[in-house]
Structure 1
């Protein structure tokens, strides 16, 4: 469950960075009252923590892979 939440937040962060790069628009800042507002900063922090969490996905085996190898 945490993996999925983290992935959603990382996707939101990636889309936000894409909108900044392509359109010069920070969607999070636009929605929550500027990049310095408390709510925007909270979203940025959550996206950062999610990205750090997603790094762990590189070092874990997927349950599906383990099951497939067990049946092979």
Structure 2
């Protein structure tokens, strides 16, 4: 993630916390700090949160780095045997030893 996406994500988190406060307690933190919902500074904050959400939309469609690495690992042939010797199956009986 680059710097702009991190700033946008921080703004979206601030907006989500504000919406959570509105939903749970009917308390608008941005409006109470900056002088009401109609105050110019509150409207700027609301606008920045909205722009931040638009900037975070591409994050939904970019693959995660872990998914790319897992795909590369699937293509390799991995051997999970021990390096010393083959393990014997304790449930398999050798008929030659009994004779």
Q: TM-score range by the shorter chain?
A: 0.7 to 0.9
Match of residue 25 from structure 1? 27
> 1:11-22 maps to which residues of 2 (within 5 A)?
11-22=13-24
Of structures 1 and 2, the one with the larger relative CO (CA 8 A, separation 6+) is: 1
**Number of matched residues?**
71
Query: Structure 1 unaligned runs (5+)?
Result: none
User: RMSD between aligned alpha carbons?
Assistant: 1.6
Aligned to 2:52: 50
Q: How far apart in 2 are the matches of 1:6 and 1:65?
A: 24
Normalising by structure 2, we get a TM-score of 0.64
Larger Rg: 2
Instruction: Please identify which structure carries the higher helix content.
Output: 1
